[in-house]
């Protein structure tokens, strides 16, 4: 099928884009970023936006920079930018490990980091990373700029705190200290498919035991979030098989897994136990 007719807009600046959004958002105006989620749904006429605001021509959104200890990822930065570490240290390495799990290479050359976060698919790898690292989402509109914390951003399946007339201009991730350990593990039936479940783990192995533990799941619940009970089972303890097993068990108990055709909540809970454990083993290796 072909998309239903729509008006196409190609702003060259962020100001033009947010002015257009203010004008057409109420008339089903949508941002077009990489188009890797939006265009297929339009082709099947599951989405019929009346206006598309194509942000690909906005040079200011292509920015990828470190500022005040944070990696700032503009809305024009594509998944493929992360194939190689974009920043020295554990954050750059974590992102380049995770990106290999997102779809296939051609999709990664078009799809954007911020598009994934705005789209908020429960199985988005970038959403899980954003939740784990307490990312900041920078939303722009004609009313100004607001910064939304990850814990307040993801509301439900494909639903976020972004207002219709807001552009997600940038996502900011904190740089991770040099001694940070990280692991990422996901399960899907075929390489490149959306994951059925995934786990992101980050911690620092301090002298008195683990500090700054962060554990988030993706593909398991409606939205990604930090699993605080599992983090509590790690913090202050010496990294060991028993500690990791306890943290994985705490994550499995605390999870409220989605249930869909062919994949039960119990199966996803079992996956959580295994994936958190494997991600922790990987982090410690």
Ligand X SMILES: Cc1cc2nc3c(=O)[nH]c(=O)nc-3n(C[C@H](O)[C@H](O)[C@H](O)COP(=O)(O)OP(=O)(O)OC[C@H]3O[C@@H](n4cnc5c(N)ncnc54)[C@H](O)[C@@H]3O)c2cc1C
Judged by the rule CB under 6 A, the positions of this chain that interact with ligand X are: 30-38, 40, 75, 102-103, 107, 111-112, 114-116, 118-119, 121, 124-125, 162, 167-168, 194
| Nearest-approach distance from CB 188 to ligand X, in angstroms | 7
| Nearest-approach distance from CB 78 to ligand X, in angstroms | 8
Tell me the C-alpha to C-alpha distance, in Å, between residue 243 and each of 2, 64, 280: 53, 37, 10
| Nearest-approach distance from CB 196 to ligand X, in angstroms | 11
| Nearest-approach distance from CB 79 to ligand X, in angstroms | 6
| Nearest-approach distance from CB 275 to ligand X, in angstroms | 15
Please give the full DSSP string across 194-244, using - where no structure is assigned: PPSEEEEEEEEEETTEEEEEEEEEESSSSS--B-HHHHHHHBTS---HHHH
Comparison of 125 and 221: residue with beta carbon closer to ligand X: 125
16-55 as b/e: b if 16+ CB within 10 A: bbbbbbbebbeeebbbbbbbbbbeeebeeeebebebbbeb
Going by C-alpha positions, the residue among 127, 183, 175, 124 that lies closest to residue 151 is: 127
| Nearest-approach distance from CB 26 to ligand X, in angstroms | 14
Closest-approach residue to ligand X (CB): 111
Comparison of 184 and 203: residue with beta carbon closer to ligand X: 184
Comparison of 80 and 245: residue with beta carbon closer to ligand X: 80
The answer to whether residues 167 and 251 touch, using CB atoms and an 8 Å cutoff, is: no
Comparison of 75 and 247: residue with beta carbon closer to ligand X: 75
63-82 as b/e: b if 16+ CB within 10 A: ebeeeeebbbbbbbbbbbbb
Comparison of 20 and 167: residue with beta carbon closer to ligand X: 167
Comparison of 37 and 243: residue with beta carbon closer to ligand X: 37
Q: Give the tokens for residue 96.
A: 């380049």
């Amino acid at each position: 099928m072909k998309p239903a007719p729509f008006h196409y807009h190609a702003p060259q600046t962020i100001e033009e884009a947010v002015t257009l959004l203010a004008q057409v958002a109420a008339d089903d105006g949508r941002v077009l970023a990489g188009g890797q989620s939006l265009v297929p749904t339009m082709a099947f006429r599951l989405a019929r936006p009346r206006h598309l605001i194509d942000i690909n021509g906005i040079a200011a959104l292509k920015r990828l920079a470190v500022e005040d200890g944070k990696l700032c990822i503009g809305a024009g930065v594509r998944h493929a930018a992360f194939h190689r570490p974009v920043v020295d240290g554990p954050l750059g390495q974590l992102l380049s490990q995770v990106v290999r799990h997102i779809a296939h290479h051609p999709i990664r050359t078009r799809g954007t980091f911020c598009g994934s976060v705005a789209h908020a698919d429960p199985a988005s790898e970038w959403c899980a990373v954003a939740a784990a690292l307490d990312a900041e989402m920078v939303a722009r509109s004609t009313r100004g700029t607001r910064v939304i914390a990850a814990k307040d951003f993801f509301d439900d399946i494909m639903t976020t705190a972004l207002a219709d007339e807001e552009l997600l201009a940038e996502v900011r991730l904190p740089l991770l200290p040099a001694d940070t350990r990280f692991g990422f593990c996901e399960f899907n039936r075929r390489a490149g498919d959306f994951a059925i479940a995934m786990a992101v783990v980050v911690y620092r192995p301090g002298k008195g035991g683990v500090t700054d533990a962060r554990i988030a799941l993706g593909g398991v619940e409606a939205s990604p979030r930090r699993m605080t009970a599992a983090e509590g089972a790690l913090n202050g303890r010496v990294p060991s098989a028993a500690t990791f097993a306890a943290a994985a068990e705490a994550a499995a108990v605390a999870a409220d897994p989605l249930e869909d055709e062919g994949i039960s909540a119990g199966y996803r809970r079992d996956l959580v136990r295994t994936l958190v454990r494997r991600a922790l083993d990987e982090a410690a290796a």
